[in-house]
Amino acid sequence: MTAVTGVALRIAELARHLTTALGPDAVVTDEAERRTYECDGLTHHRSVPALVVLPRTAEQVQAVVVACRDAGVPWVARGSGTGLSGGALPHAEGVLIVTIRLRRILDLDLANGRAVVEPGVVNLAISRAVEHDGWFYAPDPSSQSVCSIGGNVAENSGGAKCVKYGFTVHHVTGLQVCTPDGELVWIGAGMAATSPGYDLVGLVVGSEGTLGIVTKVVVRLLRRPEQVTTLLAGFASMAAAGAATSALIAAGLTPAAVEMMDALAITAAEQAVACQYPPGAGAVLIVELDGPAVEVAQDEATVRRICDAHGAIEVRVAVDEAERAEIWKGRKSAFAAVGRISRDYIVQDGVIPRTALAEVLAEIDALAAAAGIRVANVFHAGDGNLHPLVLFDQEVPGELAAAQQVSSAILDLCLAHGGSITGEHGVGVDKAEKMPRMFTADDLATMQLLRCAFDPAGLANPGKVFPTPRLCGEPPRPRTSAESLRPDGIALW
């Protein structure tokens, strides 16, 4: 019996068992239907899962994990599939556990400012459920109208408002997790303000599905601010907009959001949604302020003054909710809108100090020009989280390779300037090879020890995050002196 036949037999047996346990509508075996799950939002990484399962409850998730454990079959969790690092890329010989049917808001406890939701609940649905009572859920990825909370937890998603409100990890107080050995456990404080002991919630948030599957999430709700003001400022160049961003933060302001788009991204957005940004602008800043009305008014005056001092060609302030939505429409649609000007593109995600914005953006332009590749820049300028969109046509020989080279070089730039290889999209398969550029061999070995403590069999989302996955218990390879240095020669610690 060949290895392939052995895998096929295990998958066939799993399919029969799970069909009996969960029902025929929860198990997908048809190849064409399975192929619809072959990638997440980063489409140049593809793998067709051997089996797809769509549970409806935490207990059904548990049943699938137990069945995989007993069969020795790897599994990958997937929500809405909007991730941008290949974190939910299926395993070709494994089971894809899709949580999108677990989409109930189970409890709204406004007295404690908490909500309990299932992982398939769409991000924006939480705010909509509580907005009439004056509350909201702060993390707001650009895909918030379609991305699911389970995926947000896995990748520690941020969004435009992360400069003031932080990331998903700052708004999750408790989790129910199905561990790789099939146990349903609660971790964290839940409805309470805090809990003693190790921060297990902080450990699971951002672990990219390698430590288990989240089946319930307790999120923190916030009171809607008294006043929200949104400004749109157009600049002749990215350098001017970047300098204005640095000046805003240096002035002591804490905007809810500071977003930037370059001319190419603006062109795409105008074609897609006719957002009517300042004509001829080389860059735009969207600055959102919220809080007490008096404070917001003072901050608005400061933003206007700083933008004017840095050569803004136009500063526009939304007068009502409809105009706020119009300003945000271009930014929120930017990733999808780039499809209007490029057949294919890679969405990159790296972090740099805000003070390095102008320099790094100029270096990205130089990289793109040298490779003959276009790059559209759309990003969270307020916290230096870059999202360069590297454009290419996969049908043109050599363009994919050139785009991947530019994308990789952008991450090297981020590291060289003291930044990070990811701000909110995660590592997945796309950036795993970059991990040794940011962490020492000892760092990675420690991370592996932690992963193995949760998943000694190595079945939970294998092949992600780490560049050279090892079997649990395998001793780490001794590092060389060169591996203790970053590409720029700076020692890692």
Cβ atoms 149, 156 nearer than 8 A: no
State how far the Cα of 139 lies from the Cα of 130, in Å rounded to an integer.
15
* 233 CB-near residues (< 8 Å, 6+ apart): 241, 244, 284, 285, 287, 303, 307, 312, 314, 315, 316
Cβ atoms 470, 215 nearer than 8 A: no
Q: Which pLDDT tens digits describe the chain residue by residue (493 residues)?
A: 455 578 999 999 999 999 999 999 999 999 999 999 999 998 889 999 999 999 999 999 999 999 999 999 999 999 999 999 999 999 999 999 999 999 999 999 999 999 999 999 999 999 999 999 999 999 999 899 999 999 999 999 999 999 999 999 999 999 999 999 999 999 998 777 777 899 999 999 999 999 999 999 999 999 999 999 999 999 999 999 999 999 999 999 999 999 999 999 999 999 999 999 999 999 999 999 999 999 999 999 999 999 999 999 999 999 999 999 999 999 999 989 999 999 999 999 999 998 898 899 999 999 999 999 999 999 999 999 999 999 999 999 999 999 999 999 999 999 999 999 999 999 999 999 999 999 999 999 999 999 999 999 999 999 999 998 777 877 655 555 555 454 445 444 3
Burial class of residue 38, CB neighbours in 10 A (0-12, 13-18, 19+): middle
Handedness of CA 233, 237, 238, 242 (dihedral sign): negative
- Which pTM value belongs to this model? 0.92
Burial class of residue 20, CB neighbours in 10 A (0-12, 13-18, 19+): exposed
Q: What is the DSSP string of 92-147?
A: TTSEEEE-TT---EEEEETTTTEEEE-TTSBHHHHHHHHGGGTEE---B-TTTTT-
**HSE on the CB side for 452, CA within 13 Å?**
15
Residue of 166, 183, 178 whose CA lies nearest to 204:
178
Q: What's the pLDDT tens digit per position in 270-311?
A: 999 999 999 999 999 999 999 999 999 999 999 999 999 999
Buried b (16+ CB within 10 A) or exposed e, 101-115: bbbebeebeeeebbb
Cβ atoms 49, 11 nearer than 8 A: no
Give 36-39's long-range contacts (Cβ < 8 A, gap of 24+). 37/78, 37/81, 37/90, 37/96, 37/98, 38/90, 39/81, 39/86, 39/89
